[in-house]
Amino acid sequence: MLKYTGYLIENRIIIYDISESRSLFSEGYYGKPLGISKPKNFEFDSQLILDLIEGYYLLHENKLDICKPNGKAISLLEISNLCKKQYKNFEIKYIVFENLRNNGYVVSPGIKFGCDFAIYIHGPGIDHAPYLVKVLKPCEYISGTDIVLAGRLATTVKKQFILAIVYLENKNIKFVGFDWWKA
Q: Collapsing DSSP states into helix, strand and coil, what is residue 161? A: strand
Judge whether 128 counts as a catalytic residue. Answer: yes
In the structure, what pLDDT confidence band is assigned to residue 113 with cuts at 50, 70 and 90? confident
Q: Which domains does the chain have, with CATH numbers?
A: 1-86 (3.40.1170.20), 89-183 (3.40.1350.10)
| pTM over 0.85, yes/no | yes
Q: What is the pLDDT of residues 21-56, one digit of tens each?
A: 999 999 999 999 998 877 777 888 999 999 999 999
CA angle 45, 49, 53 (to 5 degrees): 150
Q: Are 21 and 47 in contact (CB under 8 A)?
A: yes
Task: Reply yes or no on whether the pLDDT at 153 is more than 80.
Answer: no
Task: Reply yes or no on whether the pLDDT at 81 is more than 80.
Answer: yes
> How far is Cα 50 from Cα 54, in angstroms, rounded to an integer?
6
* pLDDT value at residue 174: 96
CA 168 to each of CA 3, 59, 88, 114, 115: distance values in angstroms, whole numbers, following the listed order: 30, 21, 15, 23, 20
- List helix spans (H) across the chain: 18-26, 52-60, 76-86, 90-102, 144-156
Judge whether 120 counts as a catalytic residue. Answer: yes
Give me the catalytic one of 159, 167, 174, 182.
159
Cα within 13 Å of Cα(90), Cβ side:
15
Give me the catalytic one of 84, 122, 128, 171.
128
Q: What is the pLDDT of residues 137-147, one digit of tens each?
A: 998 888 888 88
Q: How far is residue 43 CA from its own chain's centroid?
A: 22
Give me the catalytic one of 30, 87, 120, 131.
120
